[in-house]
Structure 1
Amino acid sequence: MKTSVVRSPLWAALPLAAGIGAAVSVPVWAQSSSVSPAATALSETVVTATRTEQPLSDVVADVSIIDRDTIARSGATGLADVLDRLPGISITRNGGPAATTSVYVRGAETRFTAVLIDGVRVDTQSGSGGASWNAIPLSQIERVEVLRGPAAAVYGSDAIGGVIQIITRKGEAGFAPSVALGMGSHGTRQLDVALSGASGAVDYALGVTRERSDGFNAKPVTGPMDEDGYDSTAFSARVGWAVANGQRLELTALRNEVDGDYDNFGSKTDTDRTASHLQVLGLNWSARWNEHYGTQVRVSQSKDRYETAPSPYRTDTEITNYWWGNTWHAGAHRFSVDVERREDALGNASTTPQQTERAQNGLALGYGWNAGDHTLQLNLRHDDDSEFGGKSTGSAAYAYRLAPGLRATAGAGTAFRVPTLYQRFSAYGFAGLRPETSHNLELGLKHAWQGRSWSVVAYRNRVSNLINFGAAGTCASAFGCYENTGRASYAGVTLAGAYPLGAVRLHGSFDWMDPKNRDTGLQLARRAQRQAKAGLDTRWQQWTLGAEAQLVAHRFDDAKNTKRLGGYGVLNLSASQPLSRDWTLQLRADNLGDKAYEQAQGYATAGRTLYAGVRWQPK
């Protein structure tokens, strides 16, 4: 298998690539001939920063937004691939889209990102934890909000590195059906059918997606000589009812079943299969009682199942959540009080007992002030865990407008994540594990004016009580045990931005990161110290054209930094054109140069892939 290593001269060009527009928390805006990105930014609202809707212009946190048009143009098969194009984010994957996937926000562990789908918490209590990214269906997503930086003072456990909020499709006035059909490399086939609309007080959005792929050989050197394909079926439903003036009841449901081939450790057969099932249910009631006061009540549950065959293994995670949020506005002041209960349950044959559970009760207070040139956000939260007792976290963020469109920001915050039930009660677990904790500082300078944007953010996030898999001794297994033996530091500077140049819109980012083990001084596994992303979008006649380049420095596959993974660079192209009033053609070419590289040692990536699809959506 050939490898591609990025040499030093290439990195000399990275500041130029990022210099297409240097900024960090720039949203990924939909392109519009009538509305500039800067104007869109001013009118855009987000929910992730404080858990309630607020104008993006009032947000101090480092936030990016991905809209449906951006997702459609990307031609990507997985959510992680779309996130990988944002500043401050990198991914690794053990094979194809159905394989185990990790998403690192600012270099932090994948379990350090809190993930929500329509406000419903998604996580797994097996292994080291974190969302099952391969099980989240991209086709059902309308919008993604990404918050970089700790947010435990708002969300409680898990949000050490950031928060990713996934929002599914919502019905609008009228009736809007759509059908999309596509085919691509490795025998990939996809069919997406969606219906949405609104009539009177009721709105709805329904979607079903079926996808299959023959795949490619994920382990060409040590595994069987086979193709590791997958198939998935996803369903989503979002139904809203305006119960009364200012009051809305909404039901959210999502389910995805992904079955895929994988190469079991040491196996030379081609019969190993995995099944990942994700299910999300949420019932939300929101009320605006007057111009000052509003409340939300949400009851939700998510289920995550992973199993393998013929080697039998199965693990089930169930998260039940109850949340009551209150906001009060008074002039330039905004107050919030949130009460929350989270219940985690794990079913796993490797744990003792086989069914384990715990609960957390949280109280969160927030204060926001936006007056003239000043914006302030303060948050404080206390969580009481049935296993670990009380844990308090806090955050403070301030922005000052230096000139029209230019703001300086500063922030500090603490965060934590409790050990997974598997880390405590499995054969490899230790019941005495303590929560992982962090302290974060960051400074930023952000500018957005007349369609141009740039910013720079510097951060340092230090984690203590880091849970690693170490040597035998504190657990029943002679193979190894989980233990609180680590300290990590995630420090870096991110530049990114966007610049319109005639009919062309340029955008790019550059990340310098230092994700390291503070005890050994070594680089954390599978994370690069430098990465650059640059792209352009333009229109030519009836075509919408796009190009993206990504450069990633070398990484190490192990904690001792002895197994080097070479750096790589890839180029992606996209194009779309209306075939008629209701039909659109979409084309995509990823990794155009057919670069062979590894994100995890021994696991291949897809190489050059092509995709062609058509979408029918009546105007």
Structure 2
Amino acid sequence: MTICSPHVRRAAAPACLRPAVLTLALACALPALAQQAGLAAPVLLAQNLHAPSMRETVVTATRSEQPLSDLVADVSIVDRETLENSGATGVVDVLARLPGVEIGRNGGLGNNSSVFLRGGNSQHTAVYLDGIRIDAQSGSGGAEWAGIPLSQIERIEVLRGPAAAVYGSDGIGGVIQLFTRKGEGAFAPYVGVGLGSHGTRKLEAGMSGSMGVDGAFDYALGIARETSKGYDIRTGLVHNPDKDDYASTSGHARLGFKVNAQHRIDATLLASDMDAGYDNDTGKAYLPLDPKDDRSVSRLRTAGLTWTAQWSKAYTMRLSVTDARPRAETMPSPYFSETQLRGYLWQNEYRWGAHLFTAALERREDTLNNPAMDEWSKTINKSRSQDALALGYGYSAGAHSLQVNLRHDDDSELGGNNTGSVAYGYAFAPHWRATASAGTAFRAPTLYQRFSQYGDASLQPEKSRNIELGLRYAQGASSFSAVAYRNRLSNLIAFGGGGHCGAEFGCYANTARAQYQGVTLAGSHKLGSVQVHGSADFQNPRDLDTGKQLARRAKRHASLGADTQVAGWTMGAELQVSGQRYNEDKNTNLLGGYGLVNLYASKRIARDFTLLARVDNLADKAYEVARTYAPPGRALYVGLKWAPQP
């Protein structure tokens, strides 16, 4: 793998050379990517990526609030403005524009989706919503992305790299934290409407604010309804040629009460229902004289309650109870699965000067209800629990930053797993920092993998070892990062022939090994009135036993873009480019590379009204991220939002 990267002759580069680091790196990356994608030449367009201030804080890296400037981890932030500019897209569409992230989806919004972080499997990313774990114990597991409503999300934090030493099972490739809107300040209502291609209609409303003495009680409430007539998502197979529509309804409530200066209670609730059309996988169920409308129904319910106590200037305690219930169902082809995830967390933080000590006790309870729907399937109604002790130490002073984490998880059936991580950062020159880290992670097999007709109760957790090196620059509106990583996985659970289950079509077994290796370049720089953003990924996610490229992951992908202000309009453009990949692990069905151009503009047309317009896939590029499934093509969305200004 050849990588064109900038050469820095001395630690403190002259100011005139700093933007060149990003420009040169991405200029080298994009021609090859664009050529694979079938573009004549790359245009400097935009990735609508938030360039955060170093004073901003994040919580995902260690579960404790930290200034971005102190982080050693590789983190991206997506703020409310970026999400609002995303138009009528889903959460996975926003994630696809971030460094190190690829997606796979069987058609349009509402259909089965995967998120590949640093080339890892979708189930190797831990996903949280307001601190509530989102996962499924059916199949291979992982978050049910179709059920997570973008309309209720205010902020996204993406941590790349293993995080099992902080979060336990699942965090092999990284962590994605989603946050709903939070109330503050004066009463602030809003109403939004939108129209888009394929008969898309969107309506949302909500309010937020605070009341009482010193704003002791804060609240945020929101509801949204989105429908679309859809399009035929299937290609190349005998299938129902109807339009595969969808309807999404969601709502959330986030409440906070400051009892006094030392104690605070927070509660969060979310409900989401998605009903989407799809076409049967094989096409065998479709008869022209007796057509069937295949439906995929996703439902998500989450609830969380947290008590935060500041017992002294140095010592803070957080106690939380969470519950999540993702459910998936298909019809008329019968399938039903519901997972319940219950969590208890007691986290303690002690700050002593530049030192931060953390200790947490955590309990997780998983239950799977997967009834038999035909004569070949098997009813599963199983539960398990994991109890954990997690310890952490952080230090940040002067040019040095250090983060160490250790964790022990005890599974009720699989026994104990120890994980650890250590990361160090050194600011070797003004605005420059070098980082290095190493960590271990694991993922326990799902209840379906152990107890279904294809399962094996003796399956052991998948495990990984990761090392990475990073270089980061940040000054004002300019930033640059280069991160090289290698994540080796063993004991991977694969589905195939053999095994102990005796099923005709194969069994789950700990038979595979894999390696996720690559380099991620990302940056942002202001050129006059234009803010330029970009990232490029060079990776080699492969099966170590066969040497094959892992399914639906490209070796190269990138995003570029810019936004600016013109006559009161905020205008921007994005270019998403991806190389070729294979549809399956055997590497027999090649999916071609592609390049997508997206445009957006917004303007406050009156004191309280904002207009948003967005065009995705401007050139109407035909491409596939999953074999025989078609993305929506060119799509236009126009929205109007009313939000009274103070």
Question: What is the TM-score when the length of structure 2 is the normalising length?
Answer: 0.91
Q: Does 1:92 align with 2:107?
A: no
Please point out which of 251, 261, 269 is paired with 1:245.
261
Counterpart CA distance in 2 for 1:257 and 1:476 is 37
C-alpha distance 406-12 of structure 1, shift in aligned 2 (>3 A): farther
Amino acid at match of 1:288: Q
Deviation at 1:220, TM superposition (A): 3.0
Amino acid of the residue matched to residue 173 of structure 2? G
The correspondence for 1:264, drawn from 280, 291, 298, is 280
TM-score (norm: length of structure 1) = 0.94
CA shift in 2, pair 1:241/1:522, >3 Å: same
**What is aligned with 1:542?**
568
Cα separation, 1, equivalents of 2:321 and 2:99: 33
Contact 1:226 1:270 in 2 (8 A): no
SS at match of 2:627: coil
Q: Secondary structure at 2:143's aligned position in 1?
A: coil
Give, in angstroms, the shift of residue 291 of structure 1: 1.2
Q: Is the counterpart of residue 137 in structure 1 residue 149 in structure 2?
A: yes
Contact 2:37 2:595 in 1 (8 A): no
Counterpart residue number, 2:234: 219
Contact 1:18 / 1:495 at 8 angstroms: preserved in 2? no
On the 8 A contact 1:323/1:340 being kept in 2, the answer is yes
2:6 maps to none
Asked if the contact 2:194–2:202 (Cα under 8 Å) also holds between the matched residues in 1, the reply is yes
Residue 487 (structure 1) aligned to one of 513, 519, 522: 513
For 2:43 and 2:152, the matched residues in 1 are separated by 31
Shift of 1:449: 0.8
Superposed, which structure 2 residues align to 1:365-404 within 5 Å? 365-404=391-430
CA apart distance, 1:216: 1.0
- For 2:179, the equivalent position in structure 1 comes to 167
Q: Aligned match of 2:221 in 189, 194, 206?
A: 206
Residues of 1 paired with 2:629 and 2:554: CA distance? 17
Any stretches of 5+ residues in structure 1 without a counterpart? Answer: 1-5, 30-36
Matches within 5 A, 1:396-475: 396-475=422-501
Q: Secondary structure in 1 aligned to 2:169?
A: coil
Residue 27 of structure 2 is matched in structure 1 by none
1:52 to 61, 64, 67: 64
Q: Indicate the residue corresponding to 1:565 in structure 2.
A: 591
For the Cα contact (< 8 Å) 1:17–1:533, is it kept in 2?
no
Question: For 1:228-276, what per-residue CA distance to the aligned partner results, in whole angstroms no more than 9, with x for missing partners?
Answer: 1110100100000001212110110001000111111323234111110
Taking only the aligned residue pairs, the percentage that are identical comes to 55
Distance 1:253 1:503, change over 3 A: same
Q: Partners of 2:501 and 2:43 in 1: how far apart?
A: 47
Q: Structure 1: how far apart are the matches of 2:422 and 2:468?
A: 11
Indicate conservation of the 8 Å contact 2:48/2:561, yes or no. Answer: no
The one-letter code sitting in structure 1 at the alignment partner of 2:255 is V
Alignment length, in residue pairs? 600
Query: Alpha-carbon deviation of 1:451?
Result: 1.4
2:291 maps to 1:275: no
Indicate yes or no: 2:254 matched with 1:232.
no
- Provide closer, same or farther for how the CA distance between residues 319 and 150 of structure 1 changes in structure 2, counting only shifts above 3 A: same
**1:204–1:426 CA distance, 2 compared to 1 (3 A):** same
**CA distance 1:302–1:526, change in 2 (3 Å):** same
CA distance in 2: counterparts of 1:17 and 1:345, whole angstroms: 49
Checking the alignment, whether the CA contact within 8 Å between 1:20 and 1:499 is kept in structure 2 is no
Q: Is the 8 A contact 1:496 1:510 kept in 2?
A: yes
Q: 1:522 aligns with which of 504, 527, 548?
A: 548
Aligned residue type for 2:193 = L
Aligned with residue 166 of structure 2, among 142, 149, 154: 154
1:3-152 equivalences under 5 Å are 10=35, 28-29=49-50, 40-152=52-164
SS of residue matched to 2:474: strand
Question: What is the distance in 1 between the residues matched to 2:243 and 2:100?
Answer: 32
Q: Is the 8 A contact 1:27 1:66 kept in 2?
A: no
The answer for the alignment partner of 2:188 in structure 1 is 176
Q: Which moved more, 1:217-226 or 1:588-597?
A: 217-226
2:204 to 168, 177, 192: 192
- Distance (Å, rounded) in 2 between the aligned partners of 1:476 and 1:431: 13
Q: Distance in 2 between matches of 1:322 and 1:410?
A: 32
Provide the secondary structure at the position in 2 that maps to 1:562: coil
Call closer, same or farther: CA 1:217–1:11 in 2, change over 3 Å. closer
Query: In structure 1, what is the equivalent of residue 616 of structure 2?
Result: 590
Distance of 1:144 and 1:7 partners within structure 2: 30
Who is 2:28 aligned against?
A: none
Check the 8 A contact 2:563/2:570 in 1, yes or no.
Answer: yes
Q: Could you say which residue in structure 2 is the equivalent of 1:309?
A: 331
Deviations 1:263-317 (CA, angstroms, capped at 9, x unpaired) = 1132323411111000100001111112100000000100011111122221110
Superposition deviation, residue 54 in structure 1: 1.2
1:300 and 2:315 matched: no
AA aligned to 1:131 is A
Code of the aligned partner of 1:497? G
Give the Cα–Cα distance (whole angstroms) in 2 for the partners of residues 321 and 362 of structure 1.
11
Preserved contact between residue 112 and residue 160 of structure 1 (Cα < 8 Å): yes
2:18 counterpart residue number: none
For structure 2, which runs of at least 5 residues remain unmatched after alignment?
A: 1-30
Q: Secondary structure at 2:620's aligned position in 1?
A: coil
1:18–1:509 CA contact under 8 A, matched in 2: no
Seen in structure 2, the aligned counterparts of structure 1 residues 291 and 233 have a Cα distance that, compared at 3 Å, is same
